[in-house]
């Protein structure tokens, strides 16, 4: 049996077991790297797997998805498993759990939803970490859907600080607002004042111009409150890099 065959067989069986018995995730989650490998999914363009993740990240996303399905009617139990997978996870497990939150990104925003609360707990913890792979994994579709504006903006700024490519941030154009652009412009000014290079991603973000104003006027309106006006116009061809994260 090749490594690839083994990985696929193991993962299929792991998903089947979690679907039938959700607590099986506790022993399967730590074993993923040993069973399926750990390489970056697109090593040429993304050697650290910051943007596209790794083979074990991808497998853990499937396992978390199976967990979410099998506990669909028990949000408290699902929240507990998610919390514990993160709390007791090593670096790779924490990363996989963060990426797996994509499976609950579509839940309707609800402050009383324990599943969203569990996801936010993990995301906020990861954004305090200095492990850049955790920071990158935290800024996926779940954060885009559920993280408050202030924390989300700080997440983006942290990505610039620790040089996580902004391609790792899901739905960057949709959530970019004038306040984020002000923060990034200030950051760029601070770097220039120190004679340091301004990251290309910061320049590119500033070049997109407007963004969503923080107070919520019409989408696309330029230069909202509290911000230094961006210098350049919004390009018309900005793809959404976050879609791939």
Residue 77 contacts another protein per CB under 8 A = no
Residue 215 contacts another protein per CB under 8 A = no
Residue 158 contacts another protein per CB under 8 A = yes
Phi-psi region of 226 (alpha: psi -120 to 50; beta: other; left: phi over 0): left
Residue 17 contacts another protein per CB under 8 A = no
Give, as ranges, the residues between 110 and 139 that touch another protein (CB under 8 A).
129-133
Burial string for 109-131 (b: 16+ CB within 10 Å, else e) reads: eeeebbbbbbbbebbeebbeeee
Residue 27 contacts another protein per CB under 8 A = yes
User: What six digits make up the tokens of 161?
Assistant: 């600080």
Neighbours of 104 (CB within 10 A): 24
Binding mask of the shown chain, residues 172 to 201, with x at each position contacting another protein by CB under 8 A: ------------------------xx-xx-
Task: CB nearer to another protein: give 34 or 150.
Answer: 34
Which one of residues 14, 18, 24, 33 is an interface residue with another protein (CB under 8 A)?
33
By CB under 8 A, how many residues form the interface with another protein? Answer: 35
Residue 145 contacts another protein per CB under 8 A = no
Helix (H, G, I), strand (E, B) or coil at 213: coil
Radius of gyration from C-alpha coordinates of the chain: 19
User: What six digits make up the tokens of 65?
Assistant: 């998805």
Residue 55 contacts another protein per CB under 8 A = no
Task: CB nearer to another protein: give 101 or 202.
Answer: 202
- Minimum CB–partner distance for residue 183 and another protein (Å): 14
- Tallying the residues shown for the chain, one arrives at 245
- Minimum CB–partner distance for residue 223 and another protein (Å): 27
Task: CB nearer to another protein: give 54 or 145.
Answer: 54
Burial string for 150-183 (b: 16+ CB within 10 Å, else e) reads: eebbebbbbbbeeebbbbbbbbbbebbbbbbbbb
Residues 6+ apart with CB under 8 A from 3: 37
* Residues of the shown chain interacting with another protein in the complex, contacts defined by CB under 8 A: 27, 30-31, 33-34, 38, 40, 43, 45-48, 50-51, 88, 90-92, 94, 129-133, 158, 161-165, 167, 196-197, 199-200
């Amino acid at each position: 049996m090749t490594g690839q065959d083994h990985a696929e067989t193991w993962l299929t069986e792991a998903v089947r077991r979690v679907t039938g018995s959700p607590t099986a995730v506790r022993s399967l989650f730590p074993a993923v790297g040993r069973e399926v490998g750990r390489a970056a999914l697109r090593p040429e363009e993304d050697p650290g797997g910051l943007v596209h993740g790794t083979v074990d990240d991808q497998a853990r996303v499937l396992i978390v998805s199976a967990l979410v399905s099998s506990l669909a009617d028990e949000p408290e139990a699902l929240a507990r498993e998610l919390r514990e997978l993160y709390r007791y996870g090593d670096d790779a497990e924490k990363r996989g759990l963060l990426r797996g939150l994509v499976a609950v990104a579509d839940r309707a925003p609800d402050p009383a939803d324990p599943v969203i609360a569990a996801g936010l707990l993990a995301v906020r913890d990861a954004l305090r970490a200095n492990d850049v792979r955790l920071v990158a994994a935290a800024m996926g579709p779940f954060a885009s859907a559920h993280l408050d504006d202030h924390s989300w903006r700080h997440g983006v700024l942290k990505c610039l600080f620790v040089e996580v490519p902004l391609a790792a941030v899901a739905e960057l154009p949709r959530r970019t607002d004038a306040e984020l652009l002000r923060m990034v412009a200030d950051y760029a000014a601070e770097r220039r004042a120190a004679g340091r290079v301004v990251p290309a991603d910061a320049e590119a973000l500033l070049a997109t111009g407007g963004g969503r104003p923080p107070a919520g006027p019409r989408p696309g309106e330029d230069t909202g409150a509290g911000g230094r006006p961006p210098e350049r116009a919004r390009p018309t061809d900005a793809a959404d890099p976050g879609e791939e994260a």
